[in-house]
Amino acid sequence: MGQLKLWIQLSMPRIEDGNNFGVSIQQEVINELSRSEDGAFAILDSGCKYLGTRAKLGTKLLKYGNVEDYKRAIVELDRKEAINLCLCCLDTRNYYITIHDLISKNMEKLKRPRGSGVASTSMY
């Protein structure tokens, strides 16, 4: 996603009066890429938090092996993480589908935000 975002940013023309519709499309695609990237990092972070929480519970279980609640807590945490992983997969799929849709529908404006440059129409 980073390379795609960089390509769009580098193909942005300078801002001028008028005919900036293509530039606004580029900016919208960049914003969506940034949102998707943030979501992907949040998914990675949730996995790290899960492992840390599970390690703490495992340590407590080793220390207090006769306490049944720690065993149940680990089982429940694992079940919760399994559901979370399914939701993360759906979120990741949705990010890619949204990005693909935006890019495929606006490819010409992403490549040439100001059009072909043959004739420029103006209000004046």
What is the full per-residue pLDDT of the chain (124 aa) written as tens digits?
Answer: 888 888 888 888 776 666 677 788 888 999 999 999 999 999 999 999 999 999 999 999 999 989 999 999 999 999 999 999 999 999 999 999 999 999 999 888 888 877 765 444 544 4
Amino acid identity of 79?
Answer: R
DSSP string, 36-66: HHHHHHHHHHHHHHHHHHHHHHHHHHHHTTT
pTM over 0.75: no
